[in-house]
Structure 1
Amino acid sequence: MRTAITFLLFVFLTLPVQARSLIVLGDSLSAAYQMAPEEGWVALLEEKMATEGYAYDVINASVSGDTTQNGIARLKTLLKQVDAEIVIIELGGNDGLRGTPPFAIKRNLSRLVNMAKDSGAQVLLLGIQLPSNYGAAYNKQFSEIYPVIAEDENVALVPFFMEQVALVPERMQDDGIHPSAEGQPYLLNTVWPHLEPLIN
């Protein structure tokens, strides 16, 4: 009997580890805009997870220019194709740059969060802030969207995704909106402390 148990334990321990899936649903901030894909923070995340022994397939479903409305259609398809354990949502910036009413952005982001939760995935929401020239009143309403959703839906939140990058010129591209290749590790450093507890 002991021999049989030992054999079964050996078989179990030597089976290949089944990789789990993590989806990053974002826009140009996560799509390695104007750089090689392997330089982007999502690719760096995949490398870090592998190095630290986390068996995850990281799926970068980020598209430059995407809005929250675009994200709803894409996430619906993705969740039919992938049994994701974690969904990172980094959207809303393009909505804000186009002056979309904050209530509409909040509605769409809430729907994205609930779609991911309903699929059984854990959610990490990445907070975005707009440049100051969009006006104090609009910027305030916009920046409040993310913590409110995180609290209402009980999901993890990165308060400001660009915190370590936005005000450091060498970590930004010349357009003043997109992080440079030099800024990508800092994006990962901002996300990781909030992501790791979900992995564990």
Structure 2
Amino acid sequence: MRHAVAAPVRLLVLGDSLTAGYGLPAEEGFQAKLAAALKAKGADVVLVDAAVSGDTTADAAARLDWALGGGEVDAALVELGGNDGLRALDPKQMRANLTHILDTFQAKHIPVLLSGMIAPPNLGTEYGDQFTAVFTDLGRRPGLIYDPFFLEGLVGHPDLAQADGLHPNAAGVDIEVARLTPIILTLVAQAQAQMKDLPKAGQG
């Protein structure tokens, strides 16, 4: 956590293919469009790309120290879980992985937006309920900003998906960014408050 209030907020995007822009030109991917939307709102934000296509929560947890080691980070967007669901991995392990990730950010005084995921319906109701409960429970952590479903507004709209039926196309990304930008602006404001207040508290 840095302490220079005038500096841009460095937002780490810890995610999988959905935030890595899989299947799209770089300028049409989630991060490029999010950066443009934040700039249009007057927010001074630098995105730090830590999204890797194919990553499970275990993969992201394993590389978290590396992702944080590349420079100062002031806030984080965590978008994970889709690949855990596609591989029918144990929701208990997903919970442990995400808890480790969130604990690490908390220890470093880095505010977080956790964006949730829903399991594929073919895995059954019991698995789906356990999967969803991981995000619902973690979303109640004090100080955490929680968005229940990263793909909200896209499921059931094949015109917003790529040919694989899983990843948003450019129009789908536009919807994601429009929906998430106000939430991320709240995260940015939280980070700016942290950047200002931590030196006074002698923390960091």
In the superposition, the TM-score normalised over structure 1's length comes to 0.87
Q: Which amino acid aligns with 2:27?
A: E
Q: Is the 8 A contact 1:161 1:190 kept in 2?
A: no
User: Residue 135 of structure 1 is aligned with which of 104, 124, 133?
Assistant: 124
1:71 aligns with 2:54: no
1:92 aligns with 2:55: no
1:159 aligns with 2:115: no
Q: Secondary structure at the match of 1:18?
A: coil
User: Residue 125 of structure 1 is aligned with which of 114, 121, 138?
Assistant: 114
Query: Structure 1 segments of 4 or more deviating over 6 A?
Result: none
Larger Rg: 1
Which runs of no fewer than 5 residues in structure 1 stay unpaired? 1-16
Q: Deviations over 1:129-176 (max 9, x none)?
A: 122112111111111111101213541111111111121111111222
Percent identity over the alignment is: 34
User: Residue 38 of structure 1 is aligned with which of 8, 14, 27?
Assistant: 27
Q: Secondary structure at the match of 2:139?
A: helix
Q: Deviations over 1:38-97 (max 9, x none)?
A: 111211111112222211111121111001111112221122222211100001111121
Residue equivalent to 1:173: 162
Q: Is the 8 A contact 2:37 2:181 kept in 1?
A: no
Q: Is the 8 A contact 2:37 2:177 kept in 1?
A: no
Deviates more, 1:55-64 or 1:75-84: 75-84
**Does 1 or 2 have the higher relative contact order (CA < 8 Å, sep 6+)?**
2
In the superposition, the TM-score normalised over structure 2's length comes to 0.85
Shift of 1:189: 2.1
Which runs of no fewer than 5 residues in structure 2 stay unpaired? 1-5, 190-204
Shift of 1:110: 0.8
2:142 and 2:89 map into 1 onto residues whose CA distance is: 22
Residue equivalent to 1:59: 48
2:16 and 2:188 map into 1 onto residues whose CA distance is: 23
